[in-house]
């Protein structure tokens, strides 16, 4: 049965009020560190500013790892060609020191500091687990929203 726009909004204040350790700030700590990508194949299209890593693609930055069959990096046409957006597809696993998430696809908008994961999303933070259809996270504010078929398991401390 499908839930019509189920919503969970976690902020640092709300998480503390509930006595949980949920936050979404683990990824923001890696900004500014170099990015390393490994894959079976690399395709570069200078006309579009896109790079496609396919086949066992693993992107690493600091303690963050993203693994997917395909990882596309889109570079800005201005600002010195900085990374504008990362798109991972085909079944994505994202791991940091504090969180792990799985989904069918993920998009990281670098300038906005947002991550959107879609399709059978599972987010694990310690012993807490959230699942749903779509996860939107603002890395700078530490706020996240899970939509569609949301299920949450929050471990309480005695």
**Rounded Cα–Cα distance for residues 103 and 69 (Å):** 12
Give the per-residue pLDDT at 83.
86
- Taking only the tens place, the pLDDT of each residue in 121-144 is 999 988 899 999 999 988 888 888
Could you tell me the fold of the domain covering 7-153? lipopolysaccharide transport protein A fold (2.60.450)
> How confident is the model over 49-58, as a mean pLDDT?
95
Residue 18 contacts residue 155 (beta carbons within 8 Å)? no
Per-residue pLDDT, averaged over 97-110, amounts to 92
* Cβ pair 119, 133 in contact under 8 A: yes
* Domain ranges for the chain: 7-153
CA–CA separation, 48 and 73 (whole Å): 11
In tens, the pLDDT along 12-40 reads 223 333 333 445 555 555 567 888 999 99
- Residue-wise DSSP of 45-100: ETTTTEEEEEEEEEEEETTEEEEEEEEEEEE-SSGGG-EEEEEEEEEEEEE-SSEE
């Amino acid at each position: 049965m499908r839930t019509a726009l189920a919503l969970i909004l976690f902020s640092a204040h709300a998480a503390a009020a509930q006595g949980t350790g949920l936050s979404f700030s683990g990824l923001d700590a890696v900004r500014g560190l170099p990015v390393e990508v490994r894959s079976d194949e690399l395709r570069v299209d200078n006309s579009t500013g896109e790079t496609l890593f396919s086949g066992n693609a693993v992107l690493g930055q600091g303690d963050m790892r993203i693994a997917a069959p395909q990882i596309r990096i889109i570079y800005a046409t201005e600002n010195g060609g900085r990374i504008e957006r990362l798109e991972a597809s085909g079944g994505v696993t994202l791991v940091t020191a504090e969180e792990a998430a799985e989904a069918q696809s993920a998009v990281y908008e670098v300038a906005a500091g947002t991550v959107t994961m879609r399709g059978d999303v599972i987010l694990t933070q310690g012993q807490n687990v959230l699942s749903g259809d779509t996860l939107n996270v603002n890395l700078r504010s530490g706020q996240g929203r899970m939509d569609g078929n949301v299920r949450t398991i929050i471990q309480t401390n005695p």
